[in-house]
Amino acid sequence: MKLLLISNSTNAGEAYLAHCIENIKNFLGEKKIKALFIPYAAVTFSFDDYEKKVKDNFQKIGHDIISIHHFENSVEAVENAEAIIIGGGNTFALTKRMQDHGIINAIRNKVLDGTPYIGWSAGSNVACPTIRTTNDMPVTEPVSFDVLKLVDFQINPHYLDAHPEGHAGETREMRIEEFIEMNKSIYVVGLREGTMLEIINNSIKLIGKRNARIFKFGQQPIELTPNDDFTFLLNLKNK
């Protein structure tokens, strides 16, 4: 299994995918790949516009994409994909559309069979067992929150430590603490912007200049660097 799970598409002051495009290039390898792109997280812009934005960047690194919305048979498109890319946007919209097109099991089976998978933001959320650690507003209602289950832990993309002055609401950490209170067996990775997790078979590493914050019920949150061991997150089977 090959996964590249990216926190965000754009760092402040940088171009779209600039911070991770070389990582994507290295992940996909030297042979040109035409990946299947899934734009279903887009809400305020069209699938065509989303496809063009991603395509322009992938072509710069010698690869290409085609969006799933061009295919009459979505499941067949997944089954024939050389790689699968799921972009960011609204996680609830993404999940509902994946359910509506019946592709969740097809993607899971394809990736477990070795097809490379890249997701950023919402695309990282749906690689987890559930979308219940997304930051997004539920603008639509999926049949369930269950998604691809490619990993046994949860990701909170765009993880923030900030608590703005004068803000009396919950911090991100407090919201994750609510999740682990209700889901005691599951780890949550607070994935800060500019970072990503690369998982190849039984290896996992953090890439980027920031630490990841790890949450588990009954334990104090811990900060792990790109030099630390993350393998405890793999093959947990919720134990």
Q: Can 63 be counted among the known catalytic residues?
A: no
> CB atoms < 10 A from the CB of 181, how many?
10
Strand partners, 222: 214
Residue type, 139: V
The answer to whether residues 89 and 120 touch, using CB atoms and an 8 Å cutoff, is no
Respond yes or no: is residue 203 known to be catalytic: no
Is 121 marked active-site?
yes
Catalytic annotation, pick one of 7, 69, 124, 136: 136
Report which of 145, 149, 143 is spatially closest to residue 132, judged by C-alpha positions. 145
CA dihedral 121, 79, 238, 158 (to 10 degrees): 0
Dig out the tokens for 64 from the structure: 């290409």
> H or E stretch including 75?
helix 74-79
Provide DSSP, 152-190. Answer: SSEEEET------TT--S--HHHHHHHHHHH-TT--EEE
**CB–CB of 146/226 below 8 Å?**
no
Set 7, 67, 74, 121: catalytic member: 121
Helices and strands per DSSP (H, E), number in the chain? 7, 11
Point out which residues pair with 3 in neighbouring strands. Answer: 117, 199
Q: Which amino acid is at 189?
A: V
**Pair type for strands 117-120 and 84-86:** parallel
Out of 158, 161, 185, 229, the active site residue is 158
Measure the CA–CA gap between 17 and 193, rounded to whole angstroms: 12
Which positions are annotated as active-site residues? Answer: 121, 136, 158
